[in-house]
Amino acid sequence: MLNALDLATRKMWRALGRPVDLAGDHSWLRAPMSDGSTVADGWLAAEAAAHGGEVHENAPGGGLLHDMNALNGPEFDATRLRPEIRDFYERTSAWRMEVWTGWSPAFWLGGELISRLFGKRVQQLALPMRPLDVARGMDSRIALIRDRDGQQVAAAWLRTLRSTGEYVYSGCYGRRLLPGAAGPSVHVAFPLESGNVQVFLRPQHEPDGGLLLRSPRGRFGDNGAYVVVRDRGRTFAARAPIHETFRLYVDDEGVLRTDHELRMWNATAVRLHYRLEPLS
């Protein structure tokens, strides 16, 4: 029954999408997929092998991005960011987080169904539905994916509920230059069975040294969210009506915080807030 539901979902996204060539014109959409229905961290070894390299678990000081300067372009300069924000992205494993979540009533039931039918079962994208779901905290670990030359090509950010050990997110983080874009984007891929969800976030620095990451509305090939599925030897991709905003800033007490808003079309579905603190 549930396998049929997964298959039906892939068929739906195939119908909504367009054929893509991940080895050619659409290589910007190449990202890890899961071979099985349970995702968790099972995709890591295959992704490292695709780069001819290895996975480095719990690398000391491992970060989502090796160097924030890799995002520099005509519209973004990493040197204008607060040092705390740069340190968080470049040494993510040296930070811990507290999370608060608040769903819009109009989207709560849909979020609950997705969490029960997909998220918790496949151990991927299981967004917390209630504030108490994260009352005991969320554990976070970074696994670096390095190529045959030992260079970091991506990082896995694996977040689990401390109370249950269940996966909330299993994401592959890096940088990606979109077709025709002036500068690089932050690229996040969430592997799924025979597919993935990808988000391309445009970086902006704010006057106070904060960081704004946005996945706005746009055309195919622009920053935003995409669903990619593999079906009968072919690959299809479609833009998804998901738009996210992350605002990282340091508050008046010197605490690094993040406001995260996820919208469906133009309506806010869920807001999350993160308090980020260095481990030492």
pLDDT given for residue 79 in this prediction: 97
Structural domain count, the chain: 1
Residue 240, strand partner residues: 225
> Which of these ranges, 33-37, 197-201, 249-253, has the smallest mean pLDDT?
33-37
Extract the runs of DSSP E, i.e. beta strands, from the chain: 18-19, 54-57, 95-103, 138-146, 152-161, 167-176, 185-192, 195-205, 211-214, 224-231, 234-240, 242-250, 256-264, 267-278
pLDDT of residue 1 exceeding 70: no
Distance in angstroms (rounded) separating the CA atoms of residues 7 and 10: 5
Least confident segment among 63-72, 106-115, 146-155, 220-229: 106-115
Domain containing 123 equals 2-278
Which residue in this structure is represented by tokens 């997110």?
A: 169
Mean pLDDT of 53-63: 89
**DSSP designation for 8:** H
Residue among 71, 50, 33, 5 nearest 235 (CA):
33
For residue 163, the Cα-to-chain-centroid distance in whole angstroms is: 22
Structure tokens at 157: 């950010």
pTM of the full structure: 0.95
